[in-house]
Chain A
Amino acid sequence: DAGVIQSPRHEVTEMGQEVTLRCKPISGHNSLFWYRQTMMRGLELLIYFNNNVPIDDSGMPEDRFSAKMPNASFSTLKIQPSEPRDSAVYFCASSPEGGARAEAFFGQGTRLTVV
């Protein structure tokens, strides 16, 4: 298996534009997580899906952020409109068991810069 695949690896966009980050989890994993990493706030959980259903979205900063998981092999995180403070590295992770009962496998991340 190729592991968790995220795209794009790098994204530079102008303030106000829509940004879509993509994630393909490891086949057979039923949990998917989106995290954001910044120097100031560290690693923050944005949203957690189990069996394609959002379980915990309390970390989503505001209505500008939305996440979907239309099927077991694909998820998106969308920011509309983007702002400079959204600049961060966004990680997707998947796990073979529900929640945090087992290890999480992380993608390489998407480095987002909003100018």
Chain B
Amino acid sequence: SQQGEEDPQALSIQEGENATMNCSYKTSINNLQWYRQNSGRGLVHLILIRSNEREKHSGRLRVTLDTSKKSSSLLITASRAADTASYFCATSDTGRRALTFGSGTRLQVQP
């Protein structure tokens, strides 16, 4: 079963715009991670935010975590065509010791 659910399932924007993806999860977590997957490739880690953190930045990426609402968001600022990919949130819950992935958001950035 999937722990996280991303919203929206698909997102299409113009280059230069910001992209926001949301993730909701069900159980208590140790950390939440975001990954990116280009078509036909493996997943690449983007950012990890721990349960006691509320916000984290990495380059053009900004991640927030609200443990009271069991939700997280990933913001990509000034998007580029090369950001076109699927983005997944993954949670490390206190019961299971491996990452559980959500269903992903397919992002299309139009040049």
Most B Cβ at <10 Å: residue of A55, A56, A103, A108: A103
Known: A43-B88, A100-B31, A100-B92. A55 touches B44 (CB 8 A): no
Q: Which residues of A contact B (CB under 8 A)?
A: 4, 31, 33, 35, 42-43, 45, 48, 50, 55-56, 91, 93, 98-109
Task: Tell me the bound Cα distance from A106 to B88 in angstroms.
Answer: 13
Given contacts A101-B31, A101-B92, A103-B45, contact A33 B101 (CB under 8 A): no
User: A100-B92, A100-B97, A101-B92 are known contacts. Are A42 and B42 too (CB-CB below 8 A)?
Assistant: no
Contacting residue for B98 out of A4, A100, A105, CB 8 A: A100
Apart from A33-B99, A45-B100, A109-B42: 6 A-B pairs, beta carbons within 8 A: A35-B101, A43-B88, A45-B98, A99-B97, A100-B91, A108-B42
Q: Is the CB of A106 within 8 A of B43?
A: yes
Chain B interface, number of residues (Cβ within 8 angstroms): 24
Q: Does B12 have its Cβ within 8 Å of any Cβ on chain A?
A: no
| Contact indicator per residue, chain B 21-35, by CB within 8 Å of chain A (1) or not (0) | 000000000110101
Q: How far is the CA of A105 from the CA of B43 in the complex (A)?
A: 8
Is residue B110 contacting chain A, with contact meaning CB distance below 8 A? no
